[in-house]
Amino acid sequence: MLKKIPTILEKHGRKRIDPYYWLRERENPEVLAYLRAENERAERETAHLRALEDALFEEIKARFKPADQSVPYRKCGYFYYTRFEEGKEYPILARKRGSLDAAEEIMLDGNELARGHEFFSIGGWAVSSGSDVLAYATDTVGRRVYTIHFKNLTTGETLDEAIPEATESLAWANDNRTLFYAKQDPVTLRSCRIFRHALGSDPSRDVLVFEETDETFSTYVFKTKSNRFIMIVSSQTLSQECRYLEADDPESEPRLLLARQRDHEYYVEHFEDRFLIRTNRGAKNFRLVAAPVEHPAEENWVEIVPHREDVLLSDFEVFARHLAVEERRRGLVHIRVIPWSGGAGHELVFDEPSYRAGFGDNPELDTALLRIEYTSMKTPVSIYDHDMDTGERRLLKREEVLGGFDPDDYVAERLYAQADGVEVPISIVYRRGVEKNGRNPLLLYGYGAYGLSTDAAFSSPRLSLIDRGFVYAIAHVRGGQELGRSWYEDGKLLKKKNTFTDFIACAEHLIREGYTCPDLLFAMGRSAGGLLMGAIANMRPDLFKGIVAEVPFVDVVTTMLDPSVPLTTGEYDEWGDPNDEKYFDYMLSYSPYDNVEAKDYPHMLITAGLHDSQVQYWEPAKWVAKLRELKTDRNRLLFKTNMEAGHGGASGRFRRYRETAFCYAFLLDLAGRAGRTS
Task: Identify which of 346, 508, 550, 322 has the alpha carbon closest to the alpha carbon of residue 418.
Answer: 508
DSSP letters spanning 284-336? TT-EEEEEESS--SGGG-EEEE--BTTBEEEEEEE-SSEEEEEEEETTEEEEE
- Between CA 652 and CA 347, with CA 460 as vertex, the angle to 5 degrees is 105
Beta bridge partners of 246: 229
Phi, psi for 618 (deg, rounded to 5): -70, -20
185, burial (CB in 10 Å: exposed 0-12, middle 13-18, buried 19+): middle
Cβ neighbours of residue 469 closer than 8 Å, sequence gap 6 or more: 431, 434, 440, 441, 671, 673, 676
**Are the CB atoms for 446 and 324 separated by under 8 Å?**
no
Greatest C-alpha distance within the chain? 72
Task: Identify which of 122, 212, 211, 209 has the alpha carbon closest to the alpha carbon of residue 173.
Answer: 209
Beta bridge partners of 74: 79
211, burial (CB in 10 Å: exposed 0-12, middle 13-18, buried 19+): exposed
Amino acid at 157: E
Q: How far apart (Å, rounded) are the C-alpha atoms in residues 598 and 592?
A: 13
DSSP state, 482? T
Phi, psi for 162 (deg, rounded to 5): -140, 145
* Polymer length in residues for the chain: 678
**Are the CB atoms for 387 and 369 separated by under 8 Å?**
yes
Which H, E and C letters describe 40-95, residue by residue?
Answer: HHHHHHCHHHHHHHHHHHHHHHHCCCCCEECCCEEECCEEEEEEECCCCCCCEEEE
**Are the CB atoms for 92 and 85 separated by under 8 Å?**
yes
Amino acid at 373: E
197, burial (CB in 10 Å: exposed 0-12, middle 13-18, buried 19+): buried
Q: How far is CA 507 from CA 420, 421, 470, 512, 657, in A?
A: 14, 16, 15, 9, 27
Beta bridge partners of 395: 384
Residues identified as active-site: 527, 612, 647
User: Sheet harboring 369-375: ordered strands across?
Assistant: 356-359, 369-375, 382-387, 393-398
**Are the CB atoms for 472 and 442 separated by under 8 Å?**
yes
**Strand 603-609 relative to strand 546-550, pairing:** parallel
**Strand 521-526 relative to strand 442-446, pairing:** parallel
Cβ neighbours of residue 608 closer than 8 Å, sequence gap 6 or more: 35, 551, 615, 617, 619, 620, 621, 639, 640, 641, 642
**Are the CB atoms for 24 and 618 separated by under 8 Å?**
yes
